[in-house]
Chain A
Amino acid sequence: MKNSVKVILGAAALGLLASAASAATLDDVKKKGFVQCGVSTGLAGFSAPNDKGDWTGIDADFCRAVAAAVFGDGTKVKFTPLSAKERFTALQSGEIDVLSRNTTWTINRDTALGLNFVGVTYYDGQGFMINAKKLPGVNSALQLSGAAVCVQSGTTTELNLADYFKANKMEYNPVVFEKLEEVNAAYDAGRCDAYTTDQSGLYGIRLTLGAPDDHVVLPEIISKEPLGPAVRQGDDQWYHIVKWTYFALLSAEELGITQANVDEMKNSGSPEIKRVLGTEADTKIGTDLGVSNDWVVNVVKAVGNYGEMFEKNVGAGSPLKIARGINALWTKGGLQYAPPIR
């Protein structure tokens, strides 16, 4: 009910606020003194509050990176937890400045919804998880005909699920909830045979279940899920700031700039590193964007480079232990590639 109210208020705000879609998000953000960032209601590795109540995860860190680029201070960010249903209305109505909430980039969202995706912070794909103890012998998603499948409503996941079962001429029984926690609870209680969402999410959710070792993620990946941050349309400056913050994170990794060595790197002899870190004479690398020239230094100081962000939140340094895989840099056989900062 509360959510419906939120959506209705969002819709009302969408209609009433003349400034909602107007330009100059950067000015608004500077005036209020923080970046308002939309995150999930709790997905381990991406955006979830830790035991101290601080938001952690790759999506939350991206918000900090944007705040660092704008203010030189990664803590100047406020988080708004959003359900899948609320997320787009919240962004459209101006309630949040950036949506960094494991959201799949699709053409429909880029066009009809009036959003602009800035890039792909995590290349994902949809998978299935089952309780291997209760369903011995099931080791492929193609054996799931007749199963009850838990899924979150209003996601691309829900659509891919329908397509996959239809394409393989299988039957299933969707059990749909609005909130991630509700889906988790229903799956854990045995309401469904299988749980489907992005594979990274499945690994994270598995750890929160009563008996994680009983559950296995099936090998099939049934879709492309490029997850990335999005902003409103109609404000190119803000779009560029958020987009280049993402590219700065990638470039920093490529150039070997880390949270620990960023200050030393400022004195590096490499013209490329000097250019990126804004130590070149008479540089306009940041001011043209609308931020300070040392914005990349601030970003890396706040959250590290992309690789550090990945390892800390979802990779080897986290309980999820997800391999870099296709999320490695292009130089290492992955898909992450940034245009040059020059």
Chain B
Amino acid sequence: MASQEILGRDAGSRVSLMNDPKIRGIFFQIVVVALLAAAIYWIVGNTVENLRRANIASGFSFLRGRAGFDISDSLIAYSSDSTYGRAIIVGLLNTIVVAVVGIITASILGFLIGIGRLSRNWLVRKISTVYVEVFRNIPPLLVIFFWYFGVLSVLPPPRDSYHLPFGSFLNGRGFYFPKAIWGEGSWLILVAFVLAIAMSWFVARKARQRQMATGQTFPILWTSIGLIVGLPLLAFIFSGFPLSFDFPKQSTFNLTGGFQVKPEFLALYLALSFYTAAFIGEIVRAGIMGVNKGQSEASFALGLRPAQTLRQVVVPQAMRIVIPPLTSQYLNLTKNSSLAIAIGYPDLVATGGTVLNQTGQAIEVVVIWMVVYLGLSLVTSAFMNWFNAKMALVER
């Protein structure tokens, strides 16, 4: 490009406009943009015209209509009297929930597997390898079916639930555990918790400054744990144990009361986590192996212990290699969550599909789907780019 510009400038006035590469470049770009705009205009116009001719209602006003159907899992208040728009939001929130908890679990599991594959322990190494090879080579839909039909649907009916510790139950209808009901004064515990986190952060900062100045270390981890557990516990005792539990009980059909995690959610969550963890494991392994062996050798030579070497020297450098492909895996997990429809978890695609069918507004619903997934992916990317910039090596 640069040499062309120089050539163009050298030739100067002697070259006609037709042959000036710069002007020609601009011209063709304008042509392409115009063609694209014309194509979009034609498609939209044609669609509107065809819908009108086929007497199919169009536009987004249908979102204000009464939905009339119920949704099993909802984070926000929803009944059959709510609107179609709200039904789609319920589905969107369900998608976000499964994506977020899936990403957290997959990351933790993936890091363990990735480190496990490089372990000096033969058994740990082999188990991690088998895990990666199995889950990486099965389509995600089959992993979901495996959890749903293979594991969860063969659990006993509610009458013969497995009794688990702390008053929780497991059966074919899901996992039930006691729901905590916070009484009066429980806000104090929350305040104590937030305070503890703030104090831990402050302690960590001070400790780092001291280490920089004097070289002395301070047990940050134990102090933080003590603060974060201790302070809310104190508040809990001080405010007079304002906590009771709603235990699940057997009723005519199901267990009632308590908190129910439905098998559809469990299957999807476990499948997405296990599937994506296999990929994250490989990414982590690649990241760690990408750090020059001389780095850890130098670290050992300085007298750092293996755990410190991993935490202070290897992982920070590995993160630079890990984060970009990790972003793709997070995006994949979010998009794969649309497979929920196969097992009846009411995610965005499932509730949107129901809305589509009840209203017949195919084009509008498909547009909503695309815009929402695009938005979710862009938000995830933006966050990961910010994280990547933060983790990038800073030269001192």
Bits for A183-194, please: 1 = Cβ < 8 Å to B, else 0: 001100111010
When distances are taken between beta carbons in the complex, the residues of chain B under 8 Å from A316 are none
* Given A11-B363, A153-B357: A1 and B341 interface contact (C-beta under 8 Å): yes
Contact of B50 among A20, A84, A172, A193 (CB under 8 A): A20
- Given A20-B54, A92-B362, A134-B157, CB of A1 within 8 Å of CB of B68: no
Residues B68 and A162 in contact, CB atoms below 8 Å apart:
yes
Rounded to whole angstroms, the CA-CA distance of A108 and B361 in the bound complex is 12
Stretch with Cβ within 8 A of A (4 or more), from B217-225, B248-256, B386-394 = B248-256
CB neighbours of A105 from chain B (8 A) = none
Asked whether A148 is an interface residue with its Cβ less than 8 Å from the other chain, the reply is yes
Among candidates B54, B71, B343, residue contacting A174 with C-beta atoms closer than 8 Å? B71
- For A189, list chain B residues within 8 Å (CB): 149, 153-154, 172
Q: Does A240 contact B (CB under 8 A)?
A: no
A135 to B263, CA, bound (A): 21
- CB pair A15–B47 under 8 Å, yes or no, is yes
Contact B354 A3 (CB under 8 A): no
Q: How large is the interface on A (under 10, 10 to 19, 20 to 34, 35 or more residues)?
A: 35 or more
Asked if residues A14 and B363 are in contact (CB atoms below 8 Å), the reply is yes
Q: Given contacts A16-B46, A158-B69, are A146 and B253 in contact (CB under 8 A)?
A: yes
In chain B, residues 252-307, which have Cβ atoms closer than 8 Å to a Cβ of chain A? 252-254, 256, 263-264
A156, closest chain B residue (CB): B358
Bound Cα distance from A233 to B56, whole angstroms: 9
A-side binding surface: helix, strand, loop or mixed?
A: mixed
- Tell me if A232 is interfacial: C-beta within 8 Å of chain B: yes
Interface size on B, residues (CB 8 A): 52
When the two chains form their complex, are residues A146 and B72 in contact, meaning their CB atoms are under 8 A apart? no
* A89 B362 Cβ-Cβ under 8 A: yes
B residues near A88, Cβ cutoff 8 Å: 357, 360, 362
Q: What is the distance, in angstroms, from A218's C-beta to the closest C-beta of chain B? A: 14
> How far, in angstroms, from A85 to B69 measured CA to CA in the complex?
15
Q: Which residues of B contact A173 (CB under 8 A)?
A: 72, 254
**Residues in A neighbouring B173, C-beta threshold 8 A:** 148, 191
**A162–B341 touching, CB < 8 Å:** no
> In the bound complex, do residue A15 and residue B70 qualify as a contact, i.e. CB atoms below 8 Å apart?
no
Which A residues touch B263, using CB under 8 A?
191
Give A309 Cβ to nearest chain B Cβ, in Å: 28
Nearest residue, chain A, Cβ from B71: A174
Which residues of chain B have C-beta atoms less than 8 A from A154's C-beta? 353-354, 356-358
- Cβ of B344 < 8 Å from any Cβ of A? yes
Known: A4-B341, A18-B46, A147-B253. A159 touches B68 (CB 8 A): yes
- Evaluate contact between B254 and A147: CB separation under 8 angstroms: yes
- Say if the beta carbon of A175 comes within 8 Å of chain B: yes
A162 CA to B64 CA, complexed, in Å: 18
Q: Note all chain A residues with C-beta closer than 8 A to B341.
A: 1, 3-4, 178
What is the bound-complex CA distance between A229 and B59, given in angstroms? 27
| Residues of A close to B54: CB separation below 8 A | 14, 20-21, 92, 114, 232-234
Residues of B within 8 A of A145 (CB): 252
Tell whether, in the assembled complex, residue A21 and residue B50 are in contact, meaning their CB atoms are under 8 Å apart: yes
| Assembly CA distance A146 to B158 (angstroms) | 13
Tell me whether A109 is interfacial, beta carbon within 8 Å: yes
13 more A-B residue pairs beyond the given contacts A1-B338, A11-B363, A159-B69, with a C-beta to C-beta distance below 8 A: A17-B50, A21-B54, A89-B356, A148-B254, A153-B357, A159-B80, A175-B264, A178-B342, A182-B342, A190-B172, A191-B173, A234-B54, A234-B55
17 residue pairs from A and B, CB less than 8 Å apart? A11-B362, A11-B363, A14-B50, A88-B360, A88-B362, A89-B356, A89-B362, A109-B360, A111-B57, A153-B353, A154-B357, A162-B70, A175-B264, A176-B344, A182-B342, A186-B344, A190-B172
B residues engaging A (CB < 8 A)?
Answer: 43, 46-47, 50-51, 53-57, 68-72, 79-80, 141, 149, 153-154, 157, 159, 172-173, 251-254, 256, 263-264, 338-339, 341-344, 346, 349-350, 353-354, 356-360, 362-363, 366, 369
Task: Name the 5 nearest CB pairs between A and B, nearest first.
Answer: A154-B357, A15-B47, A21-B54, A113-B360, A162-B80
